[in-house]
């Protein structure tokens, strides 16, 4: 064990999240998917995405690209004043399911502001909880 003052290099802080910085999109993605990848990665803190997070991000990117393409189709139908047809209704239903999947995957990555917020009910309880205890050691105050 070394004695004396510690060097500046020994006091460096490593990132708490085991990511590799801001990952570049995989080459297999098309232009739209790469844009979506970069938009999501740029919205996240640096070192946020580890390899498992990148797997989720790939699924998110694929679903978001499908959703954007369906939005274009819906706008085209609306421009033709055919947005009340059965085709438009079916397309809107499929788009809604895709958009729901995108929102779910974004929340799994904690990429939305809402997914990073502490609820009003939980906030004060977190601040009032005793420090130094593990969550399962804290008894309910109810």
3-62 residue pLDDT tens: 667 666 555 555 454 556 789 999 999 999 999 999 999 999 888 889 999 999 999 999
Q: What is the pLDDT of residue 21?
A: 79
Residue 12 lies in a domain: no
DSSP state for residue 22 in the 8-state scheme: S
Distance of CA 12 to the CA centre of its chain: 28
Residue 75 lies in a domain: yes
Residue 139 lies in a domain: no
> Containing domain of residue 92, as a range?
18-115
Give the residue with greater pLDDT, 130 vs 55. 55
Residue 2 lies in a domain: no
What does the alpha-carbon distance between residue 15 and residue 2 come to, in Å, rounded to a whole number?
25
Burial-class residue 132 by CB neighbours within 10 Å (0-12, 13-18, 19+): exposed
**Domains of the chain: total:** 1
Give the residue with greater pLDDT, 137 vs 107. 107
pLDDT category of residue 114 using cuts at 50, 70 and 90: confident
Q: What is the pLDDT of residue 31?
A: 97
Residue 38 lies in a domain: yes
pLDDT > 70? residue 64: yes
Q: What is the pLDDT of residue 100?
A: 96
Residue 131 lies in a domain: no
Residue 10 lies in a domain: no
Residue 112: helix, strand or coil by DSSP? Answer: coil
Burial-class residue 117 by CB neighbours within 10 Å (0-12, 13-18, 19+): exposed
pLDDT category of residue 112 using cuts at 50, 70 and 90: confident
Angle between helices 31-43 and 51-79 (to 10 degrees): 120
Residue 121: helix, strand or coil by DSSP? Answer: coil
Q: Are the CB atoms for 24 and 7 separated by under 8 Å?
A: no
Question: What average pLDDT does the segment 102-110 reach?
Answer: 93
Residue 11 lies in a domain: no
Query: pLDDT by residue (tens digit) across 67-86?
Result: 999 999 999 998 998 888 88
What does the alpha-carbon distance between residue 99 and residue 83 come to, in Å, rounded to a whole number?
19
Q: What is the pLDDT of residue 118?
A: 65
């Amino acid at each position: 064990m070394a004695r004396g003052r510690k060097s500046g290099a020994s006091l460096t802080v490593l990132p708490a999240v085991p990511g590799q910085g801001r990952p570049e999109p995989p080459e297999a993605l098309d232009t739209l998917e790469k844009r979506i990848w970069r938009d999501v990665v740029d919205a996240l803190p640096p070192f946020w995405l580890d390899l498992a997070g990148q797997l989720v991000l790939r699924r998110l990117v694929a679903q978001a690209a499908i959703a954007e393409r369906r939005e274009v189709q819906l706008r085209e139908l609306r421009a033709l004043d055919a947005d009340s047809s059965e085709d438009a209704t079916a397309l809107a239903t499929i788009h809604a399911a895709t958009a729901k999947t995108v929102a779910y995957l974004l929340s799994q990555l904690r990429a939305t502001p809402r997914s990073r917020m502490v609820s009003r009910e939980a906030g004060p309880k977190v601040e009032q909880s005793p420090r130094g205890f593990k969550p399962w050691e804290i008894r309910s105050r109810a």
